[in-house]
Amino acid sequence: MRASFYAALAFCGRMLSPIILVPAVLNGLLTGAVYALVALGLTLIYGVLHIINFAHGALFSAALFAAFFAYRLLGLDPYIAAILLTPVFFLLGYGLQRFVIGPAAHGEDRNILLVTLGLAVVIENTLLYAFRADTRTVNLDYAFNVIDIGVAFLSVPRVIAFGVALVVALVLWLILTLTDTGKAMRAVAKEKLGAELVGIDVVHIYAVTFGLGTACLAIAACLLLPTYYVNPHVGNAFVLVAFTIVVLGGMGSVTGSLLGGMFVGVVESLSGLYLGESLGQIGIFVMFILVLLFRPSGLFGERA
Amino acid sequence: MKGITVPWILTIVAALATLPLLTASNVVLNFLIVTLLIALVAQGWNVLGGYGGQYSFGHAAFFGTGAYVTAIMQMRYGVNAWAAFAVGIGGGALVGAIIGALTFRSGLRGSYFALVTLAFAEVLRILASVAPLTGAGVGILIALDLRPQAFQFQSRAPFYWIILALVGVSLVVVRMIEQSRFGAWLVAVRENEDAAKALGVNPTRVKFAAMTVSAAITAAGGAFYAQYYLFIDSGIAYGSWISVEALLAPIVGGVGTVLGPLLGALVVKALGELTKLVTGDTPGLDLVVYGGVLILIVAFAPNGITGLLTNLRGHFMRLRARALGRSDG
Amino acid sequence: MTQFSRVSRRRFLQSTALIATAATTGLVNAPAVLRAQGAPVKLGVLHPVSGALSYSGQQGRLGATIAIEEINAAGGIKALGGAKIDAVLGDAQSTPEGGNAEVEKMNSAGVAAIVGGYASSICLAASQTAARYDLPYVVDVGVADNIVTRGLKNTFRFGPGFGVIAKTALDNLVALNDQAGKPAKTVMIVHEDSLFGSGLAKLLNAQLPERGFNVLETMPHPTPTRDFNNVVLKIKAANPDIVIPADYYNEYVLLARTMQQQRVRPKAIYSVLGGAASSYKFVKEFPEAAQYIMDCNHWFDPRNPKALALRKKVEAQGQFYTYEVYMNYSGVLLVADALQRAGSAERAKITAALESSTFSGHVMPYGPTKFVNGQNTGAAPANTQVLGNDIQVILPSTFATAKPVFPMPA
C-alpha cells in the first residue's frame, strides 16, 4: 500500500517535468482552437438569438460527412473543401433558421429548444439512414507529418487548424465590428425591439447569424477531418465542451470563444494529465461551475 | 383556467389502475410503465421548470442519485429494498438542495442556470464512472430476487401499480403546490423575479424549495428505474438522455400544468412506438420521422398539448355560444 | 438496404400481436414430398442498430440474417418439416430500456428464442426479461461475467466472458514473452472506462504482477475520447515495453494513429479486446499504424471453410468481416441446431436442447459446444497479429496461420 503511494507521488513528480508539461499545454492549445471554432458558431447563435442550439452537434456531424464526401467523391483536400462548404453550410443554416426553427417556434424560447432538439434527432438519424453507422476516415499523406520543435512533436494538421481558427475568429470579429450586417447583429443581440423599430429585419438577421454559426462548423469540420473520424454520432462529443466554452467566454463574445476555447483545451489537457482521461474530464466542468458561481457573465462577457 | 382538481386526478389514476385487469399484454404494460416513469421524472422537472420557470438541463443529477443510492444501499449495505428506495428519494432531494443552494445564491438564471445544472450532472456522471462506490465503469447489478420484499415482482402489474401510485402522488403534490401560497410565490418568481422580490417574496428561498421538491420527485423515478431494470451504470444513471426526456415531456405536454408531463410523456412515447411500426426495420428512419413530428407538434401546439386542449375548448365554447345566440334570432 | 427489407416487413402485424401468424400450410410442389411444410419458427434478432452502438448492431444483425437465409435456403429445420426461420428484428436503440421493450414485443410475437444484444448492459436487461417467459436467450457478444452468473436458466452465452478472455490473453502473453527470451517486463494499460474496459483492466491489474509483469500505469478514458495526445505523451515518457489497449474501434484507431504520429513504438502493442486491432477495416485504412499490432479477441476459425465462405459473402456485400458478424452467425446456427434436436419450437424443449448441446457446426475456434450454467466452456479468444497487411492467427498453435513477431522490429 505504502509502496504504491510513493510510486504515485514519484510519478506525479515525473509529470511536472517540462518534458510532459510543455507538450501537454501545447496540445491543449491546439485542441482548444478547434473547440473554439465549434463554440464560435454556438456563441454567435446564442448571443444574437438567445437560444441554446441543441442541433449544433448534429450539424457538426453533417459538416464532417460533407467534408468527407467532398474528399471521397470530388477529390477535394479538406482545406480546399472548406472554401466550397462554408457558403453551402451558411445557406443551410440560414434556411434552417428562417424556414424551420423560426416559424415553428413562434418566438417562445422553450419551443426553440424543442425544435432544435427535434432537428438534432432528424439530422443525426438521416445521416444514419443514408450513410450507415460505419466510421469513415480519410488517410492523407500529410496527416502524420509533425513539426519537431524540440520539446514536442506538433502535428501539422492541428497547427494548421490552430492558425485557421485564429483567422476565422478575426474575420468574424471584423464582420461584427465593421460591416452593417455585423452592426445589425450586435444591435439585435442587445435590444431586439429597438432594432426592429429602427428598421432592422430581425428575421433576416437571425437567419444570417444562424448561417454564420453553421458556416463555422463547416470550417471546423474540414480542419478536423485529417486527424479524426466521421460517423452520425460524432458531433455529440464536442457539444458539451462547446457549451462550456460559450459560457466561459461570455455568450456572444468572439474573443471570449477563442480565448475560452484555448483555455478549456489547456484545462482539459492538464486535468487529463493529472487525473487520467476519465476523471480529468471533470476539470472542465468543475471550472465551468466555479466560473458561473463567481462570475456568471463569463470571463469576457458583459455583466448579465 | 382553474386547473384540474384533486378528485379528477384520483379518478384518472383509478381509471388507469384498472388497465392491468383489462389487458394481459406485457408489451402494453411495459410501454405504460416506461411512460409513467418518464411522466414522474418529467413532473419533477415541471415543478422547477414549468411552475418556477427555471429550466434545468441536468435533472439526470437527481435521477441518477436516486438510482445509485437505492442500488448501493441494497448491494453494499444490505438495506431492505423499500427502505433503500426511500433513502434514494432523500438522497436525490439532498443533491437538489445542494445544487439549489449553490446556484440560486449566486443568482444564476435563465440559460446560465440551465447550463450549470448540465455541468453538475456531468460532474456526477464522471465521478460515478470512476468511483469504486458506484462500481466505476462496471456499474451496479442489483441481485435478482423476485419477491415483493425485495421490491421485485414476477409479474409486471405490481410495477405498474407502484409507478402509477407514484405518478398519482406527484400529480396531487403539484396540484397542492398550484393551490398554495408557495405556488403563487413560485409563479410570481417565474413571471417577474424582481417584481416578486419587491412584493416581499424571497426568490432564492422559493426557488431552493422548488428545486428540492423537484429533485425528490425525479429521484423517485431514478430509484424505480433501478428496481425495474436492475442494472445501472454512470451513462444510464447520469446520462443526458434522461435530462432530455425530463424536459421534453413537459414542454410537449404543457409546462406549468398538472397533467402536462403525463400527457407529454404519453404523446412522446406513443409517437416513438408509432414511428417504429410505420417505418419498419431500417435503422434510423423511425427516428427521423419522430424528430420531424416533434417539430410539427411544436409548430402547431406552441403551448403544449394542454394548450391545444384549452384552445380547442375555447373554440368549442365559442361555437356553442354562437349556436345558442343564433337560436334566438 | 435490400438485406433488411427482404427479411421481414411484416413487423407491423407482428407488433400489434393480434394475429397469430397462421401456419403457412400448403403442399410442397415436389412430387416426392407429401408432407405439409411446417409452420415457420420465429427467431428474435435483437441488436442496437441505432444510437451509439449502431455499427456493431448492424454488423450483428447482418451475421444473424445471413445465417437465417442460409438455413432457409437449405430447406429450413428438417425436424420441423422443413419449417423456415422467420426473423423478428428488433432495434435495442443502444439502451437497456430499448432492448427490454423489444424482448416484450418479441415474446408477444411468439418467438421461440432470441439471439443478440451485443452490449453487456443490453444483454443483462434483455435476458432477464426473456427469463420471465422462459424464453431462451443466446448472447452474441456481451462479455460481462455477471451475464451468466445470475442463475437464469434461459440465458446462454456462446462466446467467452472477460474472465476467460483476460486469462487467455495473459497466458498467451507469457508464452510469447518466454518464447522470445523475456524481453518485456513493463506494461501500460489503456482502456475505455465502461463495462468491458473497466472489467478487463481490473482483472489484468490483478493478474499481471502475478505473472511477472510490472504495470506502470492504467489509463482509463471515456468513449468517445476526442484526443489521445496526452495518453501517448505519458506512454512516451514512461516508455513501457508493452502497451495493452482495450477499446472500441474509434478510440483504438485514434490511439494507434497518435502513437504513430508521436513516434511512440513500444516492444509490442498487445490489445485485449482491442476494438480495431483485429479489424480488417483498420488494416485496410491505416496499414502503417496497424503493422505488428497484436490482439486477443473474438476470432473465427481460419481453417474452417464455412468461415471463409461467410467472409467472401460479407465482403461481397461491401461490408467488413467483423466479429459481430460471425459470432451472430454462429449463434443462429446454434439455435437452429437446438431446434433440430428438440424437434419442436417449444421454448422449454429448446432450452433443454441448448443445455445439452454439443454443436460444432459453427465457425468459431471453440470445438464442440458445452454449456455449464449458461456459459459455453469451450469458448475462448484467439491471438491475432497484423502481418503483411493481413490479420493472422498466431495463437493457439492449433489454429495458427503465422508465426508471431515479438517484439516489434524497431
Cα separation, B193 vs C71, in Å, equals 69
Contacts of C171-175 with CB under 8 Å at 24 or more apart are C172/C296, C172/C383, C172/C395, C173/C211, C173/C213, C173/C242, C173/C270, C173/C296, C174/C211, C174/C212, C175/C395
Same fold, C31-160+304-376 and C163-297+382-399: yes
Predicted confidence (pLDDT) at residue A6 exceeds the cutoff of 60: no
pLDDT at A300: 65
Q: Answer left, alpha or beta for residue C406, where phi above 0 means left and psi between -120 and 50 means alpha.
A: beta
C93: nearest CA partner in chain A = A125
User: Burial level of C312, CB count in 10 A (0-12/13-18/19+)?
Assistant: exposed
Return the closest-CA partner of residue C44 out of C99, C82, C96. Answer: C99
Are the C-beta atoms of residues C297 and C268 closer than 8 Å to each other? Answer: no
CA distance C24 to chain A (A): 33
pLDDT tens-digit readout, B70-116: 999 999 999 999 999 999 999 999 999 999 999 988 888 888 899 89
A233: nearest CA partner in chain C = C52
Cα separation, C77 vs A160, in Å, equals 61
Q: What is the mean pLDDT of residues A144-162?
A: 88
Q: Which residues contact B155 (CB under 8 A, 6 or more apart)?
A: none
Q: Does A302 touch chain B (CB under 8 A)?
A: no
> pLDDT tier at A4 (50, 70, 90 boundaries)?
low
Cα separation, C285 vs C287, in Å, equals 6
Interface of A with B in 176-235 (CB under 8 A): 232
Element (H, E) at B154: none
Element (H, E) at C113: strand C113-116
User: What's the distance, Cα to Cα, between the start and end of chain C in Å?
Assistant: 45
Interface of A with B in 12-51 (CB under 8 A): 46, 50
Amino acid identity of residue B75, one-letter, is M
* B115 to A247: CB separation less than 8 angstroms, yes or no: yes
A20: nearest CA partner in chain C = C233
Q: Domain limits at B60?
A: 6-262
CA distance A143 to chain B (A): 32
* B288 to A110: CB separation less than 8 angstroms, yes or no: no
Cα separation, B252 vs B268, in Å, equals 8
Q: How many interchain CB pairs under 8 A, B with C? A: 104
pLDDT at A302: 55
A121: nearest CA partner in chain B = B291
* C55 to A133: CB separation less than 8 angstroms, yes or no: yes
pLDDT at A291: 85
Cα separation, B31 vs C102, in Å, equals 10
CATH number of the domain where residue B61 is located: 1.10.3470
pLDDT tens-digit readout, C256-305: 999 998 889 999 999 999 888 999 999 998 998 899 999 999 999 999 99
Cα separation, B117 vs B119, in Å, equals 5
- Give per-residue burial for C210-233: e unless 16+ CB within 10 Å, then b: eeebebbbbbbbbbbbbbbbbbbb
Cα separation, B190 vs B52, in Å, equals 5
* A52 to B111: CB separation less than 8 angstroms, yes or no: yes
Interface of A with B in 120-139 (CB under 8 A): 120-129, 132-133
Q: Which three cell numbers stand for residue A96?
A: 434552417
Most A CBs within 10 Å, among B109, B115, B267, B293, to test the A interface: B115
Q: Does A31 touch chain C (CB under 8 A)?
A: yes
Return the closest-CA partner of residue A144 out of C253, C225, C257. Answer: C257
For domain C31-160+304-376, give the CATH number. Answer: 3.40.50.2300
Of A66-70, B325-329, C219-223, which gets the smallest average pLDDT? B325-329
Q: Does B241 touch chain C (CB under 8 A)?
A: yes
Cell 415482482 found at? B153
Q: What is the mean pLDDT of residues A58-74?
A: 96
Q: Does B132 touch chain C (CB under 8 A)?
A: no
Return the closest-CA partner of residue C215 out of C199, C228, C201, C225. Answer: C201
Q: Which three cell numbers stand for residue B300?
A: 402547431
Mean pLDDT by runs of 10 across the 410 residues of chain C is 42 41 36 58 96 92 97 93 94 95 95 95 95 95 92 95 93 94 94 90 94 94 91 93 94 92 92 90 91 95 94 95 96 96 94 95 94 95 94 92 90
pLDDT tens-digit readout, B212-254: 999 999 999 999 999 999 999 999 999 999 999 999 999 999 9
Cα separation, B124 vs B59, in Å, equals 11
* A27 to C225: CB separation less than 8 angstroms, yes or no: no
Domain C163-297+382-399, CATH number (from 3.40.50.2300, 3.30.70.1400, 3.30.230.10, 3.30.470.20): 3.40.50.2300
Choose among B26, B129, B230: nearest Cβ to C104: B26
Most A CBs within 10 Å, among C61, C233, C264, C281, to test the A interface: C233
**Residue C346: CB atoms within 10 Å:** 12
DSSP annotation string for C138-169: EESS---GGGSSS--TTEEE-S--HHHHHHHH
A61: which chain C residues are within 8 Å (Cβ-Cβ)?
none
Are the C-beta atoms of residues C379 and C272 closer than 8 Å to each other? Answer: no
Choose among C220, C237, C249: nearest Cβ to A277: C220
Return the closest-CA partner of residue C326 out of C112, C26, C70. Answer: C70
Q: How many interchain CB pairs under 8 A, A with B? A: 131
Domain ranges of chain A: 24-300
Cα separation, B229 vs B222, in Å, equals 11
pLDDT tens-digit readout, A249-284: 888 889 999 999 999 999 999 999 999 899 999 999
For domain A24-300, give the CATH number. Answer: 1.10.3470
* C58 to B283: CB separation less than 8 angstroms, yes or no: yes
Preceding peptide of B158 cis, ω within 30°: no
Most A CBs within 10 Å, among B45, B113, B116, to test the A interface: B116
**Residue A166: CB atoms within 10 Å:** 15
Domain ranges of chain C: 31-160+304-376, 163-297+382-399
pLDDT at C31: 41
Most A CBs within 10 Å, among C93, C194, C230, C264, to test the A interface: C230
Choose among B103, B118, B248: nearest Cβ to A117: B248
Q: Does B54 fall in a domain?
A: yes
B230: which chain C residues are within 8 Å (Cβ-Cβ)?
124-125, 128
Give the number of domains in chain B. Answer: 1
pLDDT at A151: 82
Cα separation, A60 vs A230, in Å, equals 10
CA distance B302 to chain A (A): 7
Of A88-97, A109-118, C114-123, which gets the smallest average pLDDT? A109-118
DSSP state, C318?
T
pLDDT tens-digit readout, A170-215: 999 999 999 999 999 999 988 888 998 999 999 999 999 999 999 9
B236: nearest CA partner in chain C = C95
B295: which chain A residues are within 8 Å (Cβ-Cβ)?
100, 104, 114-115, 118-119, 122
C332-C335-C340-C345 Cα dihedral, nearest 10 degrees: -120
